[in-house]
Every structure is written in structure tokens, then in C-alpha cells.
Amino acid sequence: MKTIYLITFILIIFTNIVYSNWIPRKETDENTNICDRLDEYINSPYSNEEFLNYSDVKVCYESTPYNKTKAIQVIETVKEYLKGFYALLDQAKEEQNPGFASRPIDLISELDLVLKNNYSYEFQFIYDVVDLIKELRDGHTRLESDNYHKYNFQHGLSMYSAIRKDGTQQIKVFNDIKDPRNIDCQVIDIDDKPAIDVITEFAKNHTNLSRDLSARFNSALATLAFGVREFYIAGQLFTSRTQLPKNPSISYTLNCDGKISKITREWQVPIKYVPYESPYINGTTVGNATLIFDAFIARFYVLQDFGVVLISTEAILNDDDSDIENFEYRLLSNIAVGFKLFADKGIEKIVFDLSNNPGGQVIVAHYINKLLFPDIQNFPLSFKVNNISIPLIKETSKLKKEIGNIFHYKSFISVKTNSPFDSVIDFIGNNTYIRGGEQVNYTSKAFFNDTALYYGVLKLPIPPKLPWTEKDIIILTNGLCQSSCAIFTQRLAEINVPTIAVGGFPNTRFSFAQYAVGQAMDSSNINDILNQLKNLDSSLVSKLSLPSNLTLYFTIAEAYSIKNPNEVMDYAFRPADYQLYYDERSARDPSHLWMQAAKYFKK
Ligand SMILES: *[C@@H]1O[C@H](CO)[C@@H](O)[C@H](O)[C@H]1NC(C)=O
Ligand SMILES: *[C@@H]1O[C@H](CO)[C@@H](O)[C@H](O)[C@H]1NC(C)=O
Ligand SMILES: *[C@@H]1O[C@H](CO)[C@@H](O)[C@H](O)[C@H]1NC(C)=O
Ligand SMILES: *[C@@H]1O[C@H](CO)[C@@H](O)[C@H](O)[C@H]1NC(C)=O
Ligand SMILES: *[C@@H]1O[C@H](CO)[C@@H](O)[C@H](O)[C@H]1NC(C)=O
Ligand SMILES: *[C@@H]1O[C@H](CO)[C@@H](O)[C@H](O)[C@H]1NC(C)=O
Ligand SMILES: *[C@@H]1O[C@H](CO)[C@@H](O)[C@H](O)[C@H]1NC(C)=O
Ligand SMILES: *[C@@H]1O[C@H](CO)[C@@H](O)[C@H](O)[C@H]1NC(C)=O
Ligand SMILES: *[C@@H]1O[C@H](CO)[C@@H](O)[C@H](O)[C@H]1NC(C)=O
Ligand SMILES: *[C@@H]1O[C@H](CO)[C@@H](O)[C@H](O)[C@H]1NC(C)=O
Ligand SMILES: *[C@@H]1O[C@H](CO)[C@@H](O)[C@H](O)[C@H]1NC(C)=O
Ligand SMILES: *[C@@H]1O[C@H](CO)[C@@H](O)[C@H](O)[C@H]1NC(C)=O
């Protein structure tokens, strides 16, 4: 007994010393700025706090009052960016395809309306602007604040949706860090309302990852994703929030094997672990599938007699940026090796699982498309032409070293001539379309010149000859396959490769991918470009200067279907050919879905 007391005693002294070294608590806490104190907790590796409390973060946020003068500047600058560069601004005003759950939105007018509200605090204004932009349901287009999106509010629990044998849908606990006994209990109510309704409403109003509600519903819940080298839990936007939740806590009514209980959880900001990174399953063995080749950003498995490929298109950058072309070359040639291995093993059918692929490198999508189908072109694209974008295009195009920059005409290949543009005027073109009732001008349709985009240094690995046709491939996603992932999957779907979307609502076919756009950008990229260009009108530069702690991300180029050349891919509703569902097993082991997907190979 004595020893135990002694050890406890020493530990207390020890932790106190360490603690006081790292948290210089002032005698009167209220004199320390609360926001600074939260930063200290986060930055002190020996702090024994595991969470920031909701109320502390709220007090911090409420320490900055609303300033209408600043608000007007933010709105005016955001509007300039959108008018100048946001490729989909005018089409957003049109009636949407009924397959989508998004309304027509005249963003410029609605941004002006935000200024009519009275706010007490700056964060309330910022959140309203963020939420309004979020209503575009365009994952590439969003406003982010360093200050007010800094924290991740959680409460230990995450959920998934399972379809039972009788076809009914249930929300269940996927994981609960605070009380693992709750795992797989059914969630009946959330804050005393039916769980499915609450999650659906949240997906409708508060998520931005797809125009399609089913895909957004999946993003609100926990699903597995193949990321940088390992599986991790993605999505769970309902239980992992970057905006301060409206209420300090949330309650769940659970049914655990017939026993009904109600739990209440405070929203907290975990500071001791990074939940998004936590690997859930070891991808070396996925059910009965055998990993036969690990291509770093892709994995090649064999399951029974078919192959399964997982691809991550995330931007994985080399530590040494100067070696980028060799690095890319190795990534791509590894992928080619994986496919060649499949061919050599006599694999006749392949399932591509691209669930939760958030996009990243366009080159990966372009390369795999060409590898599998050497004769297909990628989606062409164009940029908005107006008196904000023209000076950037013209000035950038004067600089030879900027070939590769998306404002340089030599980074592209003309769709009309299938060769480089003769001049910047040729690239800017004279193309007026009617969008949302307005005349809008766009650059001439173009393909990326992938070599030029890597400043002329990227050599693409010579593709091996591969045996498969569109009948031998199936694309499987949970509806969340974005950006470059969509450039890959939506292009293959246009040549009749079958697609499957997993999850969503019973008997509701939904989108397998979204945002097959040409290019996304953000305000800091534009500022870097503005800083390099010498001959710009200074009024243009000041019109485009946002406070440094706000970043506006936006779709800068729209992509066009090859099948229907005037259709903008972003607004094309493309439901998957088939639908599968998660259940207790497949939510945690994707090999169950791979087995079900294999049934849909074309005969
Ligand atoms: C959060 O609140 C709990 C309980 O009131 C307290 O023990 C903890 O120290 C607080 N954490 C921080 C970081 O202030
Ligand atoms: C509001 O912001 C403007 C511009 O930054 C500044 O000049 C002004 O002093 C601020 N007003 C208040 C009340 O802080
Ligand atoms: C905002 O405040 C002003 C003046 O304080 C008032 O005239 C106006 O009606 C308020 N607007 C709203 C929407 O509450
Ligand atoms: C919108 O989607 C992106 C992913 O494309 C995500 O990173 C971001 O947090 C979302 N933004 C908002 C405001 O929900
Ligand atoms: C940006 O930073 C300034 C200075 O730190 C701060 O006053 C302001 O509240 C921040 N605004 C946003 C929107 O993050
Ligand atoms: C969702 O949006 C609708 C329409 O704007 C609104 O009536 C409803 O209260 C919102 N629900 C939530 C949970 O925010
Ligand atoms: C996965 O499992 C294999 C075989 O058990 C093991 O060799 C490997 O180290 C594990 N990988 C990780 C990341 O845990
Ligand atoms: C693996 O195969 C065995 C034998 O066919 C089967 O019983 C088992 O359910 C399979 N496991 C999975 C995870 O599919
Ligand atoms: C589009 O281009 C035409 C022809 O160059 C021009 O007359 C028109 O003003 C432009 N429209 C806009 C909105 O810039
Ligand atoms: C830019 O064009 C818009 C309309 O297309 C016009 O209202 C505005 O005055 C122009 N700005 C400049 C600086 O030319
Ligand atoms: C642009 O196209 C319109 C209609 O196609 C034509 O009338 C006009 O002359 C063209 N403008 C230029 C500058 O080429
Ligand atoms: C693509 O760009 C590279 C490098 O700038 C250039 O050498 C090549 O000719 C271009 N390709 C085409 C098809 O225009």
C-alpha cells in the first residue's frame, strides 16, 4: 500500500511541474484572452486537457463583435471573385435537374441580402456567408475562415446506415470512443426526433459534397475510405463539425439489443488525436481479398477470380518538390505495373472501388483513362471571360516561364484544331452562352496539355497493352467520388462502363460521382498570380484582396460531356446503373461489397 501511495504522490508532483511549465496560467484567468488560452492548450504537448469545451470556444468566438464596414468589404470582394472566376455562377440560377436536391441560387443578389441582417458577432455573419455559398452544393466552392473553422467539434460517436433484410433502413452506431458498448446499437432518435429524419435534414441543409441528397446523406455518416496508404473513417459530417454547433450538447436514444437508453453528449474539440487519420482496417487483408500489389496510391487485390483496384488521387507530394516529375512518373508507372500484373495473371474482370475518393491530381485520372482506353479524350473545359479574368489571362500568357499556369494559353490544346492555340486571342475566343438568362463569355473549349501542366518536364510512362474492354470493368463508389475521381469515373461511364452507388436511401438510384470540373482554385492562388504580374490595374488587385484569414475556393473551369458536348458535367445528373447497401458487415469490410458488385459484370 505504501508504495502505491508513494508512486501516486510522485506522479502528482511530476505532472504538476510539467503542466506548469507548459501552461502559463495567469493568476486571474479572465485577464488572459480566452482565444489565446485555447491556442495554448492545443499547442502544449504536455497539457493534460483532452478537449476544448464548447462554452470556451463560444466565448472566444463571441469576443469579436460584428463590424458592418468589414462585412461589406468581405461581401464585395467575394462577389468580385465569383463574378470574375466562378465558372458555374450563372448556371446556378437555373432550375436544377430534379435528381438533385439543390435550389436555383442567384448568389450575387443573395450575398447582398446577407448585409441586411443585424449580427452581434463576426462569426455569425461569416457562418451565414459560408452557409449560403454551401447551398451551391459545389464541394469546390466554399469560404473558409482560419478563425471560425479551426476546430473540429465531436462527441466520440459516429453512425452508419444499414439496410436490413426486410428493406427497412436503420441508423446504427459505427464507433463510440467514449463507450464502445454502444457500437452497433440502433439510433432511434436524435434530440427526440427520428434519427433518419434528423440526418436527412442535416444532409439537406448543412453538407456541400454533392448536389445529390443520397450522396450527401452518405457524407453525413461514417464510411470507410482508402486514403494515403491505409483505410480510414471518412465523412461523418454529422458528428464531426467544423462550425460551432447551435447547441452545446446532443442526445441519442439508443436501442441496444432491446434495451432502450438515452445518452447526452457535450460537443467538444478533441486535442489529443486526429480522428480522420485513424486507420480502421489493415488494408493488407480485406476479407478474403489478397493484396497482390501495392502501388502506393493504388492497391491491387484479387478476390475469387476477379481483381479489385483501389485508387487514391489525393495530392501526395514528394518531400523534395524539385523532383516532382520523377515522383509522378514513379506513381504512374507503379499503377501501370499493377494493371500489367493483373493481365499477366489472367484476371478478366475488375472492380474499381473509389468510395470517398475526394479527388486530387487530375494527371492520375487522365493517365488511368488513357491506360485502359488509349483512344478516349478527356473532358474539354473552359474558363469565364470577362474584364476581371482577361487581364490575368493576357498578362500571364506573356510570360514564357508561366506555361503550365492555367491562365497561360499554351497550357492547353484547342478542341477545334487538336493542336495548341495560335495566340492568347485564339484561346480567349468569342464564345457567348446564355446561362441563367444572361450572356456569359467563356474561353474556347480546350483540353489540358498534361505535359505543359508539369512545366514540360513530365514524361508519362509508356502504357502497357491491356486486354480489358468496358464489359470487363465495374465502378463502385459510395456516391462520393469527386473532382479528379469524377473525371475518371464519369468519363468511363460515358463509354458504358457500368456504375454502382452504395448507400443512400432504399430504392433511390443516385449519383456515383460529382464535380468532373476542369479546375478548382482559391483566392490565395489568385493573389500569388496577381503578385507576379506587373502590368495589372491596381484597382483589380485591391478588388481581389480578401483578409488573409479568409479563403474562397471556387470552380474556375467548367468541363463538358463528350457524349453531349454542350452539357456542363457539373450540372449533369448521372445516377449509377445499380445500387447496393451497407449492412453491419459491409460497413466495415468492403470485400462484401466487392463480392456483390462482381455480380453486375456484363455478360
Ligand atoms: C472543460 O470542462 C471540464 C469540466 O467542466 C473541465 O474539467 C476541463 O478542464 C475543461 N477543459 C478546458 C480545456 O478548459
Ligand atoms: C470596423 O472595421 C473598420 C475597417 O477595418 C475599422 O476602421 C473600424 O474601426 C471598425 N469599427 C469598429 C467599431 O471596430
Ligand atoms: C437592424 O438594425 C437597424 C438599426 O439598428 C434596424 O433599423 C433594422 O430594422 C434591423 N434589421 C433587422 C433585419 O432586424
Ligand atoms: C465543403 O466540401 C469540402 C470538400 O470538397 C470540405 O473540405 C469543406 O469542409 C466543405 N465546406 C463546408 C463549408 O462545408
Ligand atoms: C481575421 O483576423 C483578424 C485579426 O486577427 C480578426 O480580427 C478577425 O476576426 C479575423 N476574421 C475572420 C473572419 O477570421
Ligand atoms: C433546413 O432548411 C429549411 C429550409 O430553408 C428550414 O425550413 C429548416 O428549418 C432547416 N433545418 C435545419 C435542421 O436547419
Ligand atoms: C497489416 O497486417 C500485416 C499482416 O498481418 C502486417 O504485416 C502489416 O504490418 C500490417 N500493417 C499495418 C499498417 O498495420
Ligand atoms: C471468406 O470465404 C469463406 C469461405 O468461402 C467464407 O465462409 C467467409 O464468409 C468469407 N469471408 C468474407 C469476409 O467474405
Ligand atoms: C461577351 O463578348 C461579346 C463579344 O466580344 C461582348 O460584346 C460582350 O460584352 C461580352 N459579354 C460580357 C458579359 O462580357
Ligand atoms: C466590367 O464589365 C462590367 C459588365 O460586363 C461593367 O459593368 C464594368 O464597368 C466593367 N469594368 C471595367 C473596369 O471595365
Ligand atoms: C463574335 O461572334 C459574333 C457572333 O458569332 C460575331 O458577330 C462577332 O463579330 C464576333 N466578334 C469578334 C470580335 O470576333
Ligand atoms: C504540350 O506541351 C508540351 C510542353 O509545353 C509541348 O512540347 C507539346 O507540344 C504540347 N503538346 C501538344 C499536343 O500540343
If one residue of 325, 449, 450, 455 were mutated to test the ligand 12 pocket, choosing by the most ligand atoms within 8 A of its CB, it would be: 449
Using a 10 angstrom Cβ sphere, with 0-12 exposed, 13-18 middle and 19 or more buried, the burial of residue 275 is middle
Write the residue with the smallest CA distance to atom 1 of ligand 8.
288
Residue 20 confidence (pLDDT):
33
Q: Is 67 in the pocket of ligand 2 (CB under 6 A)?
A: yes
Gap from CA of 67 to ligand 2 centroid (Å): 6
Gap from CA of 117 to ligand 3 centroid (Å): 7
Q: Do the Cβ atoms of 600 and 500 come closer than 8 Å?
A: yes
Q: Is 68 in the pocket of ligand 2 (CB under 6 A)?
A: no
Sorted by sequence, the CB contacts under 8 Å of residue 274 that are 6+ apart come out as none
Residue 281 confidence (pLDDT):
60
Q: Is 118 in the pocket of ligand 3 (CB under 6 A)?
A: yes
Using a 10 angstrom Cβ sphere, with 0-12 exposed, 13-18 middle and 19 or more buried, the burial of residue 382 is buried
Residue 10 confidence (pLDDT):
30
If one residue of 66, 117, 118, 120 were mutated to test the ligand 3 pocket, choosing by the most ligand atoms within 8 A of its CB, it would be: 118
Sorted by sequence, the CB contacts under 8 Å of residue 216 that are 6+ apart come out as 101, 137, 203, 204, 207, 208, 209, 210
Report the alpha-carbon distance of residue 85 to residue 445 in Å, rounded: 16
Among candidate residues 161, 78, 52, 82, the one with its CA nearest the CA of residue 505: 161
Gap from CA of 53 to ligand 1 centroid (Å): 6
Report the alpha-carbon distance of residue 170 to residue 10 in Å, rounded: 50
Report the alpha-carbon distance of residue 510 to residue 571 in Å, rounded: 14
Q: Is 550 in the pocket of ligand 5 (CB under 6 A)?
A: yes
If one residue of 406, 415, 447, 451 were mutated to test the ligand 12 pocket, choosing by the most ligand atoms within 8 A of its CB, it would be: 451
Ligand sitting nearest the alpha carbon of 422? 12
Residue with cell 514524361: 459
Q: Which domains are present in the chain? A: 68-145 (no CATH), 281-377+459-516+566-602 (3.90.226.10), 381-458+519-558 (no CATH)
Quick one: cell of 506? 432504399
Ligand sitting nearest the alpha carbon of 391? 10
Gap from CA of 117 to ligand 5 centroid (Å): 20
Gap from CA of 185 to ligand 6 centroid (Å): 28
Gap from CA of 153 to ligand 6 centroid (Å): 21
Q: Which atom of ligand 6 is nearest to the CA of 206?
A: 14
Write the residue with the smallest CA distance to atom 3 of ligand 12.
452
176, β-bridge pairs: 157
Report the alpha-carbon distance of residue 597 to residue 456 in Å, rounded: 40
Q: Is 357 in the pocket of ligand 4 (CB under 6 A)?
A: no
Q: Is 284 in the pocket of ligand 7 (CB under 6 A)?
A: yes
Q: Is 290 in the pocket of ligand 7 (CB under 6 A)?
A: no
Report the alpha-carbon distance of residue 186 to residue 392 in Å, rounded: 55
Gap from CA of 69 to ligand 2 centroid (Å): 6
Angle, to 10 degrees, between the axis of helix 107-114 and the axis of helix 122-134? 160
> For 404-434, b where at least 16 C-beta lie within 10 A, e where not — what string?
bbbbbbbbbbbbeeeebbeebeebbbeeeee
Q: What 3 state SS string does 5-71 have?
A: HHHHHHHHHHHHHHHHHHCCCCCCHHHCCHHHHHHHHHHCCCCCCCEEEHHHHHHHHCCCECCHHHH
Residue 422 confidence (pLDDT):
97
Write the residue with the smallest CA distance to atom 14 of ligand 6.
205
Using CA atoms, how far residue 266 sits from 40, 192, 270, 279, 421, in Å, is: 22, 16, 12, 25, 58
> How crowded is the C-beta side of 519, counted as CA atoms within 13 Å?
22
Residue with cell 491530381: 361
Q: Is 428 in the pocket of ligand 5 (CB under 6 A)?
A: no
Write the residue with the smallest CA distance to atom 5 of ligand 5.
549
- Report residue 423: phi and psi, to 5°: -155, 170
How many CB atoms lie under 10 A from the CB of residue 200? Answer: 18
Kindly report each contact of residues 45-53 with a partner whose C-beta sits within 8 Å and lies 24 or more positions away, as own/partner: 46/18, 46/19, 46/21, 46/22, 47/19, 47/22, 47/23, 47/271, 48/15, 48/19, 49/271, 50/270, 50/271, 50/272, 51/268, 51/269, 51/270, 51/271, 52/151, 52/268, 52/269, 52/271, 53/266, 53/268
Report the alpha-carbon distance of residue 403 to residue 328 in Å, rounded: 19
Taking the chain (603 residues) in runs of 10, the rounded mean pLDDT of each run is: 32 32 43 85 80 96 97 98 98 96 96 98 98 96 96 95 93 94 97 98 95 98 82 90 97 98 96 54 80 91 96 62 74 94 98 92 90 95 96 96 94 97 98 96 96 81 95 97 94 97 97 88 95 90 94 96 95 97 94 97 79
Q: Which atom of ligand 2 is nearest to the CA of 65?
A: 14
**Ligand 8 neighbours by CB, cut-off 6 Å:** 287-288, 589, 591
Helix (H) or strand (E) holding 391: helix 389-397
